[in-house]
Amino acid sequence: MAVPGALKRLAAGGTHFGIVAAFTIFSAFPFYWMLITTFKRTSDLMNRTHNPFIYNEPPTLEHLRVLFAETLYARWLGNTLLVGLIVVAVTLVLALPAGYALARLTGRWGEQLGIGIFLTYLIPPTLLFIPMSRVIGDLGLQDSLWSLVVVYPSFTVPFCTWLLMGFFKAIPRDLEEAAMIDGHSRFGAFVKVVIPISVSGILTVVIFSFTLVMQEFVYALTFISTASQFTVSVGVPTFLVHGDVYFWGSLMAGCFIASVPIAILYNFFVDRFIAGFTVGAIK
């Protein structure tokens, strides 16, 4: 009787390992493809008789040289980081108090306002970039990174407010009331009690906002025309795609360098990120 049980456990373990291995390969393959293409010679890339998954010719650093020496890639990374940090800060400053206020607003108005704010996030950017360009023109921010700082919170704040609202609703009011009995004001209870408990939701907002800045293309292409002001998402395809000529090695190098920090950030905080979306911090 013990043998079938052992075989059953072995089969279950093998199945679990197979599923995990398949998912790992599926998730890691894009990074492997970008990495191997970064160091492949152009002649190796273009030869259809070569195996695309290995190096058929000695690796080269030429694509990295083109990326950093013949484009402003380092500048684009700096621009993206600057805009991302400012947008994250603005989003937190606006979404945290808004989400908390809506979560504590009693009656149906709180829920309806929360739904209304979330619905604004669902409007496609392609419908808004024309009126937004008029606003940016009136403010005199054309061809400036500040135009992106002004525009990006228009779709990070609504979603993050809705996300944090659901998170704050899961925090018992008794905790705040106990803090106020101890002498804290409402704002003091929010800062000393609610925010530390809400770390998962705050990290979710940070990761979501920064990722959105990294990948956004329409607004960055519309408002920025000077190469030195480009972000990564616009600069890489603009300067490494010439008509029907694609600099695949440099393109993959640029994508790999920009995506690895985000992947590491997700990996380190994946538990808190999931908890933020599932409101799983409070039992």
pLDDT band of residue 62 (cuts 50, 70, 90) is very high
Q: Do 104 and 222 share a domain, yes or no? A: yes
SS3 labels along the chain: CHHHHHHHHHHHHHHHHHHHHHHHHHHHHHHHHHHHHHCCCHHHHHCCCCCCCCCCCCCCCHHHHHHHHCCCHHHHHHHHHHHHHHHHHHHHHHHHHHHHHHHHCCCHHHHHHHHHHHHHHCCCHHHHHHHHHHHHHHHCCCCCHHHHHHHCHHHHHHHHHHHHHHHHHCCCHHHHHHHHHCCCCHHHHHHHHHHHHCHHHHHHHHHHHHHHHHHCCHHHHHHCCCHHHCCHHHHHHHHHEECCEECHHHHHHHHHHHHHHHHHHHHHCHHHHHHHHHCCCCC
| pLDDT tens for each residue of 191-233 | 888 888 888 788 888 888 888 888 888 888 888 989 899 999 9
Q: Do 218 and 267 share a domain, yes or no? A: yes
pLDDT the model gives residue 106? 63
Q: Do 42 and 141 share a domain, yes or no? A: no
pLDDT the model gives residue 158? 85
| pLDDT tens for each residue of 16-47 | 888 988 988 898 898 999 999 999 998 888 88
Domain that holds residue 76: 64-278
| pLDDT tens for each residue of 135-175 | 888 888 888 899 999 999 988 888 888 888 878 887 787 77
pTM over 0.75: yes
pLDDT the model gives residue 283? 42
Q: Do 252 and 185 share a domain, yes or no? A: yes
Q: Specify the number of domains making up the chain.
A: 2
| pLDDT tens for each residue of 227-246 | 899 999 999 988 988 878 88
Average pLDDT over residues 75-95: 93
Q: Do 174 and 206 share a domain, yes or no? A: yes
| pLDDT tens for each residue of 3-14 | 566 777 777 778
- Which of 60, 82, 104 delimits the end of a domain? 60
pLDDT the model gives residue 276? 53
pLDDT the model gives residue 100? 85
